[in-house]
Amino acid sequence: MKNICPHCGAELAPKAIACQSCGSDAQTGWSEGASVDWELPDYDEIIENEFGNKKKAHWPVIVISCILVAALIITFTSIFF
């Protein structure tokens, strides 16, 4: 059976007194009774927590931009032609 660091999950050498990857040992949080939580986080929950679940509607900005561009084109063509 492989020894696994309960802090970072790296493979440990037999009878290791500290993890070579993260440096954890019995004094800094690594002990015989420690265990690793292998449960993966929910990706959708992380995205919602970081960015919120708001989907902004871009169509009003696009419509207003098109109207402004059309107005500018009509104005400039009527001035120069």
Q: What is the mean pLDDT of the chain?
A: 80
| 9 Cα distance to chain centroid | 21
pTM of the model: 0.34
Coil, strand or helix at 40: coil
User: Structure tokens of 24?
Assistant: 């954890």
Mean pLDDT of 41-57: 78
| Strand, helix or coil for residue 69 | helix
Distance in angstroms (rounded) separating the CA atoms of residues 8 and 25 = 11
> Collapsing DSSP states into helix, strand and coil, what is residue 34?
coil
What pLDDT band is residue 54 in, cutting at 50, 70 and 90?
low
Predicted local distance difference test score (pLDDT) of residue 1: 56
Domain boundaries, the chain: 3-80
Q: Is the pLDDT of residue 58 over 60?
A: yes
The percent helix, strand, coil of the chain (3-state, each to 5) is 40, 5, 55
Whole-number pLDDT of residue 63: 92
